[in-house]
Amino acid sequence: MLEKDILFSCDHPFLVGMEYLFQSPTRLYFVMPFVKGGELYKIFKEQKRLSEDVVKFYAAQICMAIGYLHSKSIMHRDLKLENILVDEKGYLKIIDYGLAKTLKDDQLAKTFCGTPEYLAPEMAEHKGHNFSVDWWALGVLIYEMKIGVTPFYNRERKLLLAKIKSGKVIFPDKNKYKIEYSNEFVDIVLKLLNKDRLQRLGTEGDAAEILSHPWFADLNL
């Protein structure tokens, strides 16, 4: 029911909403727009790494979409490449509100949920979480799209969670791995991946605070 309500309220160019809903005696049908380009995950896997300009273009759209959800007191809680579609014009559409939750500004949610590689430390430690878990996930996505792997990746779930809780974000050697990234890229990733949710970029001013970061300065937002 919550997912239905969220889908009907998603009137934003970078969110998939719902056209209408009907039911049979045994099933409930959600009728949503067809997004022709498929998953962003597929594009990422084909290219291995995306250019910083493309990552920035996508990140700005994700940020605006999540900011819109937050303005309606909704946390997404499952941001990942598989939950982002690309339309025929190259713009993004965020999908899947199955783990979303409505939350008041002064509340903390307690449910442990989401995809392990994108979990914020406060989620992994069961400390209670709020809207800033989505900004942590944005930081993971930005790093992943540019570097080619999530920042705390490990095949072993326990080690992955341990790195999320206490590990440092490591940026690969530019010469050794033949990869280029800017100082502003490093700065925004580190600020989004601040383990203290109260100090994390976006905690005070939400999407507007993030989009005012110098990394986005060359975009016409």
pLDDT score recorded for residue 220: 87
| Residue 188, burial from CB neighbour count under 10 angstroms (0-12, 13-18, 19+) | buried
pLDDT score recorded for residue 7: 87
pLDDT score recorded for residue 5: 86
- The answer to whether 118 touches 135, Cβ cutoff 8 Å, is no
The alpha carbon torsion through 54, 55, 58, 62 (nearest 10 deg) reads: -170
pLDDT tens digits along 6-62: 888 888 999 998 889 999 999 999 999 899 988 999 999 999 999 999 999 999 999
pLDDT score recorded for residue 105: 78
Average pLDDT in the 205-218 region?
97
pLDDT score recorded for residue 35: 92
- Which positions are annotated as active-site residues? 78
Sequence letter at residue 77: R
* 189-194: long-range pairs with CB below 8 Å, 24+: 189/139, 189/142, 189/143, 189/151, 191/139, 192/135, 192/136, 192/138, 192/139, 192/142, 193/136, 193/139, 193/140, 193/143, 193/151, 193/169
Tell me how many degrees the CA angle 94-46-33 measures, rounded to the nearest 5: 30
pLDDT score recorded for residue 210: 98
Pairwise CA distance, residues 94 & 215, whole Å = 22
* Tokens found for residue 71: 């303005």
Instruction: Kindly tell me if the per-residue pLDDT of 2 is higher than 90.
Output: no
Instruction: Kindly tell me if the per-residue pLDDT of 3 is higher than 90.
Output: no
Instruction: Kindly tell me if the per-residue pLDDT of 65 is higher than 90.
Output: yes
pLDDT tens digits along 73-116: 999 999 999 999 999 999 999 999 999 999 987 899 999 999 99
pLDDT score recorded for residue 10: 83
Domain chopping of the chain, boundaries: 37-216
- Global confidence as pTM: 0.94
Residue 114 per-residue DSSP state: S
pLDDT score recorded for residue 53: 97
Backbone φ and ψ of 6, nearest 5°: -65, -45
Average pLDDT in the 131-152 region?
97
Please give the radius of gyration of the chain, using alpha carbons only, rounded to the nearest integer: 17
pLDDT score recorded for residue 221: 80
* Tokens found for residue 43: 């594009």
Question: Span 37-216: which CATH code?
Answer: 1.10.510.10
* 170-175: long-range pairs with CB below 8 Å, 24+: 171/147, 172/147
- The answer to whether 93 touches 14, Cβ cutoff 8 Å, is yes
User: What is the percent of the chain where pLDDT is above 90?
Assistant: 87
Residues forming a β-bridge with 85: 39, 93
Average pLDDT, the chain: 94
Average pLDDT in the 178-184 region?
95
